[in-house]
Chains A and B, each alone.
Chain A
């Protein structure tokens, strides 16, 4: 009788029985909640009246001003109001600070932000996009693809306060590393434990010990990794929303990232990141368990994963090395970064263009399947030799 379901429950129990797992999860979730708070806790500001206020008070004030402007088109009227207010150096300037900051993101220059009209603003954006595309060494086909996408983006942009979601984009990089470390700590002994504890010889001589147990272990590890990903993402999103509010979910992505050419809403981009985060968690889980079977040593597994993580933090491949750079930027530790939302390099497969997120999702799924299959071969061929 196939008891894979029962074995799956036991394998989950084995993971959850470790005190280290609970401690690591608690610390990481606390850190995750703390990322958004850290921006507000340390800072303090002086108002026009000379009063010192906390970062949180300042954020609340700016949020109210920004909310007042939400839904307005960034056109000549709003730009003139903003430029007039910014010139006055009074409270009215604070009211338009969010729009000023947004325009600055497009122009890249504070002076230009104070003079640009609607035509100049969107022309500056187009010039910036052209520069980015040139830097990223896009082919004519890729440029045509993005120009097509640009046509789907309505201008003038509609200003929307969406700092809660912008905070999620900002935090995804840290979340990704937390996820990798947490999975490395919690799943590094899934297979190695059996060899270290010498339970392997008991397991491998049983009817379901070679095939069904492998599947149960992999499924349990993936489930655990996915739960961690959902928890981390949820804690981060909930914290960001509690602090900044949930406004702007349906706004165009350009309200948060004006240089992105993706014609999607902020909410859709967040959901895309969430799905990718889940897929990444599956890959991390399987890679960790594969290493656990390969190395038969949990410290070794954590070392390899942490080393890989630090390597990708320190090393960057410039855009001009187009293929190595594009492949490198598809690594899960380099992909989940805010600016990848305006990485416009595409992968051409059978005449279809895939964005970095689309190709990463496919590549991670294929890699997960391959690693799981390779790990299965290793596990099933394992021989209990003299120790």
Chain B
């Protein structure tokens, strides 16, 4: 299982949002750190095939990011995730399951499992417009997982979750990382510290650090800030 990002760039009129990034991702959890505007979301959108790179390619098992085969392996939770306020949580999951091409019985079973996994059993029959921010975020996580994706892209997944939910979520991600490629971005360094096997740090569209992280090393937040200081000094 290999996700290959090969010299990928995204250029807008007068700005390079992502600058020639090359990566090979395997099973495991990848934590993507970077300041606002570093290019994290742009990179994630390109990996999800919703934004075409100006140059470079993204492939999974030989399939390009623009293909249906690629997308059938994908789960995505965008940062500003949208929903249909008049759909119930269960309807929303079943709708996404249909979009992901899951057969009806499998979709129902999976949706039931996931509402339980994200603690939404009681609210599953209620309209999403009645959900709190945390509940919506948990629903977003559930929709990303509905097709048991082999590539899971999570943009700020812990935003809006309370501390208890965050711990549950970390455990869930850790489990998923055993079978899938999980790329998650966050501002909360401690989230990555706890679950990421590999840390990726982006600044001004470029990847300035890529490496594994273990608890015996120094504090990640300190290391993260240090990387930016070094870039600024240069």
Do A208 and B98 form a contact, CB below 8 Å, given A383-B50, A383-B52, A385-B51?
yes
Say yes or no: is B62 at the interface (Cβ < 8 Å to chain A): no
**Does A207 contact B83, Cβ atoms closer than 8 Å?**
no
**Does A202 contact B96, Cβ atoms closer than 8 Å?**
yes
Of the candidates A13, A198, A206, which one forms a contact with B96 in the assembled complex, judged by CB atoms under 8 Å apart? A206
A1-9, A80-88, A144-152, A328-336 - the one binding chain B: A1-9
B71-79, B172-180, B184-192, B221-229 - the one binding chain A: B71-79
**Does A204 contact B50, Cβ atoms closer than 8 Å?**
yes
**Does A209 contact B83, Cβ atoms closer than 8 Å?**
no
In the complex, chain B residues whose CB is within 8 Å of the CB of A211? 68
**Does B84 contact A207, Cβ atoms closer than 8 Å?**
no
Say yes or no: is A265 at the interface (Cβ < 8 Å to chain B): no
Q: How far is the CA of A279 from the CA of B74 in the complex (A)?
A: 40
Interface size grouping (class) on chain B: 35 or more
Q: How far is the CA of A2 from the CA of B78 in the complex (A)?
A: 24
B interface: dominant SS: loop
A interface: dominant SS: loop
Q: How far is the CA of A5 from the CA of B78 in the complex (A)?
A: 27
Of the candidates A18, A207, A387, which one forms a contact with B100 in the assembled complex, judged by CB atoms under 8 Å apart? A207
**Does B99 contact A7, Cβ atoms closer than 8 Å?**
yes
Say yes or no: is A205 at the interface (Cβ < 8 Å to chain B): yes
Shortest beta-carbon distance from A197 to chain B in Å: 4
B101-109, B113-121, B161-169 - the one binding chain A: B101-109
Of the candidates B52, B101, B147, which one forms a contact with A2 in the assembled complex, judged by CB atoms under 8 Å apart? B101
Interface string of B76-100 (1 = CB under 8 A from A): 1010111110110001000110111
**Does B71 contact A199, Cβ atoms closer than 8 Å?**
no
**Does B99 contact A198, Cβ atoms closer than 8 Å?**
no
In the complex, chain B residues whose CB is within 8 Å of the CB of A203? 99
Docked complex: B25-72 residues within 8 A CB-CB of A:
41-42, 45, 48-52, 68, 71-72
Say yes or no: is B203 at the interface (Cβ < 8 Å to chain A): no
**Does A206 contact B86, Cβ atoms closer than 8 Å?**
no
Say yes or no: is A246 at the interface (Cβ < 8 Å to chain B): no
Of the candidates A1, A14, A17, A383, which one forms a contact with B51 in the assembled complex, judged by CB atoms under 8 Å apart? A383
Say yes or no: is A349 at the interface (Cβ < 8 Å to chain B): no
Shortest beta-carbon distance from B96 to chain A in Å: 7
Shortest beta-carbon distance from B185 to chain A in Å: 14
Say yes or no: is A384 at the interface (Cβ < 8 Å to chain B): yes
Q: How far is the CA of A247 from the CA of B53 in the complex (A)?
A: 67
Of the candidates B48, B100, B104, which one forms a contact with A208 in the assembled complex, judged by CB atoms under 8 Å apart? B100
Of the candidates A3, A194, A201, A210, which one forms a contact with B98 in the assembled complex, judged by CB atoms under 8 Å apart? A3
Of the candidates A1, A198, A204, which one forms a contact with B49 in the assembled complex, judged by CB atoms under 8 Å apart? A204
Of the candidates A1, A202, A207, which one forms a contact with B78 in the assembled complex, judged by CB atoms under 8 Å apart? A202
Say yes or no: is A213 at the interface (Cβ < 8 Å to chain B): yes
In the complex, chain A residues whose CB is within 8 Å of the CB of B95? 7, 10
Say yes or no: is B198 at the interface (Cβ < 8 Å to chain A): no
**Does B103 contact A199, Cβ atoms closer than 8 Å?**
no
Of the candidates B12, B50, B86, B99, which one forms a contact with A207 in the assembled complex, judged by CB atoms under 8 Å apart? B99
**Does B71 contact A202, Cβ atoms closer than 8 Å?**
no
Shortest beta-carbon distance from B104 to chain A in Å: 7
Q: How far is the CA of A115 from the CA of B101 in the complex (A)?
A: 76
Do A208 and B80 form a contact, CB below 8 Å, given A383-B51, A384-B51?
no
Shortest beta-carbon distance from A100 to chain B in Å: 58
Q: How far is the CA of A7 from the CA of B100 in the complex (A)?
A: 10
In the complex, chain B residues whose CB is within 8 Å of the CB of A383? 50-52
Which residue on chain B has the smallest CB distance to residue A204? B50
24 contacts between A and B (CB under 8 A): A1-B101, A1-B103, A2-B101, A3-B101, A6-B104, A10-B91, A198-B81, A199-B83, A200-B82, A201-B82, A202-B76, A202-B78, A202-B81, A205-B50, A206-B71, A207-B72, A207-B100, A207-B101, A207-B147, A208-B99, A208-B100, A213-B99, A383-B52, A386-B42
Residues of B within 8 A of A (CB): 12, 17, 41-42, 45, 48-52, 68, 71-72, 74, 76, 78, 80-84, 86-87, 91, 95-96, 98-104, 143, 147
By Cβ-Cβ distance, the 6 closest A-B pairs, closest first, are A198-B82, A199-B82, A206-B99, A17-B86, A197-B82, A3-B98
Residues of A within 8 A of B (CB): 1-3, 6-7, 10, 13-14, 17-18, 194, 197-211, 213, 383-387
Given contacts A13-B91, A202-B96, A207-B101, 9 further A-B contacts (CB under 8 A): A3-B101, A3-B104, A7-B95, A10-B98, A201-B76, A206-B71, A206-B101, A208-B100, A209-B99
